[in-house]
Amino acid sequence: MADVTLPSLGESVTEGIITQWFKKVGDLVARDEPLFEVSTDKVDSEMPSPAAGVLVQILAEEGDTVETGARVAVIDESQSVATSNSAPAAPSVAPVAHQESPKVVATTPASGANGVLLSPVVRRILRDAGIQPQQIRGTGPGGAITRRDAELAVADGPGEGFAVAMSNGRRRMGQHMAFSSQVTPHGFVALAVDGSVFDVLDLMGRTTEDGSIISDEVLVAFAAVKALKEFSILNATCDGDQIVYQNSVNLGFTRAIDDDGMLVPVVHAAAALTLPLLARRVSEIDEHVKSRQLTTDDLMGGTFTVQSSPSEHTLFTQPIIIQPQVAVMSVGSRRYVPVVATSKGKPSVEVGSELVLGLSFDHRVCEPQMAARFLERVAEILSSMDLAAEK
pLDDT tens digit string along 370-387?
999 999 999 999 999 999
Domain around 143: 110-163
Is 74 in the same domain as 116?
Answer: no
Residue 92 has pLDDT above 50, yes or no: no
CB 362 within 8 A of CB 339: no
Phi, psi for 303 (deg, rounded to 5): -120, -15
* Average pLDDT over every residue of 123-143: 81
Taking the C-alpha atoms of residue 191 and residue 201, their distance in angstroms, rounded to an integer, is 21
Q: Which of 206-220, 238-252, 337-351 has the lowest mean pLDDT?
A: 337-351
pLDDT of residue 157: 54
Is 243 in the same domain as 295?
Answer: yes
Picking from 158, 149, 114, 144, the residue whose alpha carbon sits closest to that of residue 131 is 149
Taking the C-alpha atoms of residue 364 and residue 357, their distance in angstroms, rounded to an integer, is 21
Identify the CATH number of the domain in which residue 254 sits: 3.30.559.10
Is 137 in the same domain as 182?
Answer: no
Is 130 in the same domain as 185?
Answer: no
Taking the C-alpha atoms of residue 245 and residue 58, their distance in angstroms, rounded to an integer, is 73
CB 332 within 8 A of CB 309: yes
Name the domain boundary from 125, 142, 163. Answer: 163
Taking the C-alpha atoms of residue 225 and residue 234, their distance in angstroms, rounded to an integer, is 11
Q: Over pLDDT 70: what percentage of the chain? A: 84
Residues linked to residue 359 through DSSP beta bridges, in sequence order: 189, 329
DSSP 282-310: HHHHHHHHHHT---TGGGS--SEEEEE-S
Is 153 in the same domain as 198?
Answer: no
Q: Which of 141-145, 186-190, 261-265 has the lowest mean pLDDT?
A: 141-145
Phi, psi for 206 (deg, rounded to 5): -95, -10
Is 285 in the same domain as 254?
Answer: yes
Phi, psi for 211 (deg, rounded to 5): 95, 0
Name the domain boundary from 129, 144, 163. Answer: 163
Domains: count for the chain: 3
Is 179 in the same domain as 272?
Answer: yes
Length, in residues, of the chain: 391
pLDDT of residue 105: 42
Name the domain boundary from 61, 80, 108. Answer: 108
Picking from 129, 186, 175, the residue whose alpha carbon sits closest to that of residue 153 is 129
Residue 211 has pLDDT above 80, yes or no: yes
* Average pLDDT over every residue of 64-73: 89
| Ordered strands of the 28-29 beta sheet | 2-5, 71-76, 53-58, 28-29
Question: Who wins on pLDDT, 231 or 131?
Answer: 231
Is 97 in the same domain as 157?
Answer: no
Please list, in sequence order, all residues whose beta carbon lies within 8 angstroms of the beta carbon of residue 171, skipping any fewer than 6 positions away: none
Q: What would the pLDDT profile of 300-334 be if each residue is shown by its tens digit?
A: 999 999 999 989 899 989 999 999 999 999 999 99
Is 234 in the same domain as 148?
Answer: no
* Average pLDDT over every residue of 272-277: 96
Query: What pLDDT band is residue 228 in, cutting at 50, 70 and 90?
Result: very high
The pTM score is 0.63
CB 74 within 8 A of CB 23: no
Q: Looking at the chain, list the stretches that DSSP marks H as alpha helix, in order from N- to C-terminal side.
A: 81-85, 120-129, 147-154, 168-183, 196-204, 216-228, 275-291, 368-383, 387-390
Is 130 in the same domain as 35?
Answer: no
Q: Over pLDDT 90: what percentage of the chain? A: 51
Q: What would the pLDDT profile of 150-178 be if each residue is shown by its tens digit?
A: 888 887 655 556 677 887 778 888 888 99
Identify the CATH number of the domain in which residue 17 sits: 2.40.50.100
Is 261 in the same domain as 362?
Answer: yes
Taking the C-alpha atoms of residue 359 and residue 144, their distance in angstroms, rounded to an integer, is 54
Q: What would the pLDDT profile of 100-127 be if each residue is shown by its tens digit?
A: 443 444 333 445 545 556 776 777 788 8
Identify the CATH number of the domain in which residue 142 sits: 4.10.320
Supply the angle between the helices 216-228 and 196-204 in degrees, to the nearest 10.
Answer: 120
* Average pLDDT over every residue of 71-92: 63
Taking the C-alpha atoms of residue 164 and residue 170, their distance in angstroms, rounded to an integer, is 12
CB 356 within 8 A of CB 190: yes
Q: Give the burial class of 55: count Cβ atoms within 10 A of its Cβ; 0-12 exposed, 13-18 middle, 19 or more buried.
A: buried
Q: Is the dihedral of CA 367, 370, 373, 379 positive or negative?
A: negative
Taking the C-alpha atoms of residue 33 and residue 48, their distance in angstroms, rounded to an integer, is 5
Is 141 in the same domain as 207?
Answer: no
* Average pLDDT over every residue of 25-51: 83
Taking the C-alpha atoms of residue 60 and residue 128, their distance in angstroms, rounded to an integer, is 29
pLDDT of residue 82: 43
Name the residue type at position 294.
L
Residue 94 has pLDDT above 50, yes or no: no
Name the residue type at position 287.
E
